[in-house]
Amino acid sequence: MVPGDLKYLDQSGAAYLPEIRELEAILRPLWAILPAYFSGEPLTTSEQFYLNELKRRVETGDLPAITTHNRQIAVELGVIAYALGTYRERFLNLFSAKGQKQFAAWLNTINDIEFPAGNWYFFLALINAALRRNHFPYSKEKLTDALDKIETFYKGNNWYTDGSNEQSDYYIAFAFHFYGMIYASFVDDDAAQLFRQRALGFAHDFQYWFDDQGRSLPFGRSLTYRFAHVSFWSAMVTTGLYRDSDFSLGQIKGIILRNFRFWQKQPIVVPAEHNLAIGYGYAQQVMAEDYNAPGSPMWAFKSLILLGLPADHAFWQVKEASLEKWHHVAETGPGFLIDHDDQQVTALSARQYANSPQLYRGTEKYSKFAYSTYFGFNVSRGQSGLSQFAIDSTLAFSIPGHDQYATRHVIDDAAVFSEYAVSKWRVWHDIQVVSYLIPVAANCHVRLHEIDTPYAVMTAEGGFPLANWNHKYNQSRISETVCVAYSDHGQSLIKSLAGTRQPLLVPQGPNTNLYSPEKNAIPVLTATLTAGQHVLGCLVFGDPNTKKQIAEVSLTMSDKAFELKMPGRLVTISRATPLKRRRKN
C-alpha cells in the first residue's frame, strides 16, 4: 500500500498544484510510518523513502509556501502536529538544529492564512499547540481563535457539523473527534476536557455505523479514505481514552480489525505502483472528489497510529469482542434511523444534504433515503434515462418528454423520532414533497410521500441496487405492484403500498456501484402524476438471502394520519401537525 517513490502521482489530477500533491503523498503515509518507527519497528525500503524525503525537504527548505491559495498544505500538517506534540525531541532529532529552526518557522506561517469554515481549524490549533509544547514561536491568538471557531460548529449531543452546512458525516469521526483526542493527548486545558468528553459520548452513536462483517456505512464525501473510518477508534486506544469509555478494549479492537479484514479482501491496491486506488470497493474515479489526488487515499493510514503502541500494550493481547446486540436506534445528530441484523446495517436518512457546488455527486452521497453497508449505493453516469441515473433509494421527478431526472437535494426541514423520520424537500422550487421513512428491519423499510406539484410530472422511485445482475443471466419478477431482482448477491424488492404505479427493473452499467464494478439492477416504481396533491408509498426490501421472506406490512390512510401495521408494531404518523412543530433536536 506504500509505493517506493512518487511516480504514481501521474495517475490522475486534483484541484491543487502538483507540488502540494507531492507533499500530501509524502506526509500522509507518515500517520503509519512515524508511529511504527518510534515504537522500534524496522522500516521497509519503501517506508524509509518517506522518512528520508521529509528529512531532505526540511533540511534543504524544499517546502512549498503556506498561503491561502495553497492552504491544502494545512490539511497535511496534521501528522506533523501529531508527531511534534507526541514524540517531541525524538521527532525533532530527525533533523539538524538548523533544520529544526527552519521547519518550525515554516510551520508557524500557517498563522498567516485564511481558513474555510469547518474541521480545518483543528490544523491551526494542533500546529500552534505542538509548537508551544516544543518551545517554538507560535500564535496564542490564533490558537485561541481556532478553538473558538471549532466550538461554533458544535451542535450538541457530541455531534458537530462540518462548516455552515448540514453535513455530519465521517469528518465528525476522523476529523473533529480524531483531532480533538490528539489535541487532548498533549494539551490539558478546558478545550481538551471538552474534546475528551465529547469523543466518549460520540462513540456511543458511532458504534452503530459498523456491521458485523466490518463494513462501515457508505455515506457522505471522501469515502476513498476507506479504513480511516476506524481511525476514531484507533485514537481512543492510542490516547488511552478507551479506559473511560463504555466499551471494552476487546470490543474496540473488534471494530478496528473487522474493518481492516474487510478492506484486505477488496481490490483497492493498484498492482503496479502499489498505491491505494481512488475509489471505494475498487478503483473508481466516478465517485471521487476534486481534492482526491493519487496520494489522497493514504489518509486511511490515520487508523494505523496503533503502530505506536508498545509491544506489551493490552491491545495486542486482548481478544476481539463483539458489540452488544442491537436492532434499532434513532440518531438525531446525523438525522438517521439505523437498523442492524447479522448481515447489514441500514441508515434511513432524513436531514442531510450537500449544499456545496464543489462537491461531486453530492446528491448520491448525502440525499438518498437509505444507505446500506451491504448494498452500497450507485452514482449517476449520464444525463438522460433511468439507466444512467442513480435511481437507487431515491424518488425522482422528470418533466414528461425530457427523460432527465431530479431528486431530493435541498431539504427544507426534517425531524427524527424513534419510530419514523420525516423530511420536507422540493424539486425545481415548484414540486413540494414531504417524505416519511419508517424502518421495519435492517433489510426492510417503508417510504411514504406527500407530493404537491403545479404541473404534470413523471416519477420514479428505486430500491436497493443489486450487484452482479445482468439481464442475460439473472432473474427478476414483476407483478402488478411488485418488482424484485435476484442474483448471487441476494435480492432487492420494491412494492407499491399507495398510489398507482408501474413496477419495472432498471439495469445500471458497470462501475456505478460503490462496492461492485459489475453491472447491477434497481427495482423501480414509476407513475405520471397530474397537477395537484398525491400520496405515494412503497415497501423496500433487500437481503443477501434470496429465500428470505419480506415482512407483512399494511398501510391505512386518512386525511389526518398514516397507520402502518407490521410484525409486533403499529406506527401512527400524523399528517396534520406542521413539520416545524415536529422538529426534534
Q: What is the pLDDT of residues 473-502, one digit of tens each?
A: 998 999 999 999 999 999 999 999 999 999
Q: Are residues 397 and 434 in the same domain?
A: yes
Q: Are residues 360 and 295 in the same domain?
A: no
Query: Is the Cα torsion angle 122, 125, 128, 130 positive or negative in sign?
Result: negative
**573-580 average pLDDT score:** 62
pLDDT in tens, 517-530: 999 999 999 999 99
Query: Which pLDDT value is given to residue 580?
Result: 40
**448-455 average pLDDT score:** 97
Tell me which amino acid residue 225 is. Answer: Y
Q: Are residues 264 and 335 in the same domain?
A: no
Residue 526 belongs to domain spanning: 328-550
Q: Are residues 392 and 538 in the same domain?
A: yes
pLDDT bin (cut points 50, 70, 90) of residue 357 is confident
Q: Are residues 344 and 239 in the same domain?
A: no
DSSP notation for 8-20: GGGG---SS-HHH
| Residues near 351 by beta carbon (within 8 Å), at least 6 away in sequence | 166, 334, 335, 411, 414, 416, 421, 423
| Residues near 249 by beta carbon (within 8 Å), at least 6 away in sequence | 237, 242, 314, 315, 318
Side-chain half-sphere exposure of 346, counting CA atoms within 13 A: 28
Q: How many domains does the chain have?
A: 2
**Is residue 565 in some structural domain?**
no
Query: Which pLDDT value is given to residue 382?
Result: 86
CATH number of the domain within which 342 lies: 2.70.98.70
> For residues 489 and 544, is the Cβ–Cβ distance under 8 A?
yes
Per-residue DSSP letter, 197: H
Reported pTM: 0.96
Query: Taking all residues of the chain, what is their mean pLDDT, rounded to a whole number?
Result: 96
Q: Is the pLDDT of residue 581 over 70?
A: no
**Is residue 134 in some structural domain?**
yes
Q: Are residues 217 and 352 in the same domain?
A: no
- Across 465-491, b (16+ Cβ under 10 Å) vs e yields bbbbbeeeebebeeeebbbbbbbebbb
CATH number of the domain within which 176 lies: 1.50.10
pLDDT in tens, 31-83: 999 999 999 999 999 999 999 999 999 999 999 999 999 999 999 999 999 99
pLDDT bin (cut points 50, 70, 90) of residue 334 is very high
Query: Closest by alpha carbon to 371, among 421, 324, 296?
Result: 421
> For residues 494 and 392, is the Cβ–Cβ distance under 8 A?
no
Query: Which pLDDT value is given to residue 46?
Result: 96
Where do runs of H (alpha helix) occur along 110-215? 121-133, 140-152, 170-171, 178-186, 190-206
Query: Which pLDDT value is given to residue 585?
Result: 32
Q: Is the pLDDT of residue 219 over 90?
A: yes
Query: Which pLDDT value is given to residue 66?
Result: 97
